Structure 1
């Protein structure tokens, strides 16, 4: 939803610029999580190599 709001930023003039900065940060931060979750739950049998590499990617993001 935040990503779509960024696409329509010009039409949504009710948010101040500092709030847009927060929305952009949240989109950048949560984007990789979204991709990894889609990978895990989009496959019937996620293999350990997909699982381990992506869990490490999440750890790097959090650190």
Structure 2
């Protein structure tokens, strides 16, 4: 559903138009940026999970004991 077709009034601009104006005809550039962002986000999520598990297993949470 496009923003213009939505009954909500929280977003007062057309996101589709704003994105389209930014990328123009450079769809490959958009794909490259989004792919790079997604891969970096995934790496960070894995690292955050590893740190959480290490902290949990290491008993570093005051009110929760490892199982």
TM-score, length basis structure 1: 0.39
Structure possessing the higher radius of gyration over alpha carbons: 2
Q: Which has the higher helix share?
A: 1
TM-score, length basis structure 2: 0.38
